[in-house]
Structure 1
Amino acid sequence: MMMNRRTFSAALVAGAAATLVSTRSMAAAPAPAKARNVVFAHGLFADGSCWSEVIARLQKAGLNATSVQNPLTTLPEAVASVQRVLARQDGPTVLVGHSFAGMIVSEAGVHPNVSALVYIAARAPDAGEDYAALAKTFPTPPATAGIVFDGDEGRLSETAFLRDFAGDLPEAKAKVLYAVQEPFQKALLTGKTTQAAWRSKPSFYAVSTEDRTINPDLERFMAKRMGAKTIEVKASHLSLISHPDKIAQLILEAAGQHP
């Protein structure tokens, strides 16, 4: 059977992933240190308040949580904003990122205060990797067509936001989130990570099986490549809002406090 170019590229990527995971599995994955601090970074079309439901659950469990209002301007500026917050933590800290913020987690996660990484339906690039090229080896998710630009400022159209970004949320709630989405700058999308913190830190990944913003199979590939403890959540891209209990439980496990 002949493969088309996209299928062949995906097969090559999958093969490379299998080799990498096999290599990593030869050594036991380090257990995360017990942590009481959690730092969150948000992705595109959102702001730091998107973590509110998860934060409430972690605070109830006795964790200290900080959600960074990271700028969606350039990758270095976003990483710097997270690094400043990480530097203020008083001990082991779990660093959590959603969507685009997986780029931030991969870069800033090498900070010595970071004890574990958690990716929620997030990008998880290798050091210097062209994420856009990687994503093109999988079918393009529907939300991509809904991005609109005013000059260099991008946002998601209301139709795409409700259907492809927040598809499993009540419409009234999704409309509120649409109203407060933070625009991003085109320059943000050109950034490449120079670090892959998941190569040296315990990593956890929540795949959104109904995701229409990042292809779920791409999420599975990235999670497998990093050797992450992975869960699958039947959710839209916004599992952190539609399924906060499951996301909070994964973070507690990363903090060494999961029962």
Structure 2
Amino acid sequence: MKTILHKADTRGFANHGWLKSHHSFSFASYHNPERMSFGALRVLNDDLVQPKMGFGTHPHQNMEIISIPLSGALSHKDNMGNTRAIEVGEVQVMSAGTGLTHSEFNGSKTDEVNFLQLWIVPGEMNVTPNYEQRPFSSEEKNNRLQTVVAPKDKLIGDALPISQQAYVYRTRLDSYKSLSLNAKSINNGFYVFVLEGEVEVANHTLEKRDAIGVSETEHIEIKSISNSELIIVEVPMN
């Protein structure tokens, strides 16, 4: 088993006034050669957008982009005709493929928006761009694994599709509960990101916004120390 620990206070940070962003991996002006990616997981940004502010129209190509609101609502608009708000409890995926443009905006006059954005390197290049979002039941992540993103050829339940053999899971664990995960492939690793609470993974204790990458193993176990909420990303390591 191989592990890499990313404590919350070691992440990159950018303060643009309208946007405060913590970077788990090298992004924009934050460059750390030891944090370029975890397998196919290229970006995990923890963004806080001020009221009436947002990201102007910008392009993406050949990247699987996943947005998960944690508080507030984020308005989305793209060149495929999608104009929607993403709210807490929903997940959005975009397969950028051959290319798309989009913007993201906090339409509230008073409330900040906090959301995670993940970029996963696709397993198939130059696919037709695709956009999907949907709400997921909060109850279905209580003390169990909820799959919110899965490969488009191996969808699980109502998981959203991406062009990579990768999975995104959510879970909310009560104190002293345990959760076991078996890798879908021997080549996959797990990146465990703590939204809230305190857990133990691979003999490491993780607190709010800490993360750990675990690879070269077919199985991991997560033990909650207090009520906790997690995002877990399973990705190919090569």
TM-score (norm 1): 0.28
TM-score (norm 2): 0.30
